[in-house]
């Protein structure tokens, strides 16, 4: 009986130590030095690259994320929404932004370096990232772009 209690005690101590070590590993900061971002092409978006700096943007329920997007040519984002709030900061260049179900720049805004926009989930918007521009997007995963389906005119 004493051996069983001693074994149980050692098991509890080791389990507690493993849980604490695991929690400590999850609490480590993410540090990305200038020039340290790993850029990858964005599938289906010619001229656009992304660098995930923090989190897992594509995985729902994984928490906060930070992603940078860089345009090597003008890149248009068709009318869309997001399932969560989106916070965008322009780090370099110009981001054109408009609201609505179809691209109409009449009431669009040009945001340059230092500009910021917070877009609540479900808001219909569109944009264009000009060549040479870099933006930083942050929010809570998933970072999904849901395209707006515009009805075709009837004949």
Query: Which one, of 51, 103, 54, 52, lies nearest residue 77 by Cα?
Result: 103
Query: Which one, of 148, 4, 143, 21, lies nearest residue 81 by Cα?
Result: 148
Name the pLDDT band for 149 (thresholds 50, 70, 90).
Answer: confident
The neighbour count for residue 146, using CB atoms within 10 Å, is 12
Would you call 140 helix, strand, or coil by DSSP?
strand
**pLDDT tens, residue by residue, 64-111:** 999 999 999 999 999 999 999 999 999 999 999 999 999 999 989 999
Query: Is residue 132 a contact partner of residue 73, using CB atoms and an 8 Å limit?
Result: no
**pLDDT tens, residue by residue, 32-44:** 988 999 999 999 9
**Structure pTM?**
0.79
Q: Where are the beta strands (DSSP E) in the chain?
A: 40-41, 48-54, 64-71, 75-81, 86-92, 94-99, 109-112, 116-119, 125-129, 134-140, 146-147
* Angle subtended at Cα 103 by Cα 148 and Cα 45, rounded to the nearest 5 degrees: 70
């Amino acid at each position: 009986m004493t051996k069983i209690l001693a074994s149980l005690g050692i098991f509890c101590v080791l389990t507690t130590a493993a849980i604490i070590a695991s929690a400590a590993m999850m609490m480590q900061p993410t540090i990305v030095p200038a020039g340290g971002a790993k850029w990858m092409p964005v599938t289906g978006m010619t001229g656009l690259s992304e660098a995930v700096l923090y989190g897992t943007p594509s995985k729902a329920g994984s928490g906060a994320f930070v992603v940078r997007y860089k345009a090597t040519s003008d890149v248009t984002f068709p009318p869309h929404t997001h399932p969560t709030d989106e916070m965008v900061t322009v780090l370099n260049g110009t981001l054109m932004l408009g609201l609505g179900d179809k691209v109409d720049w009449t009431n669009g805004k040009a945001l340059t370096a230092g500009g910021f926009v917070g877009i609540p989930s479900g808001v219909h918007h569109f944009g264009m990232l000009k060549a040479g521009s870099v933006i930083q997007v942050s929010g809570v995963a998933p970072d999904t772009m849901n395209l707006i389906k515009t009805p075709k005119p009837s004949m």
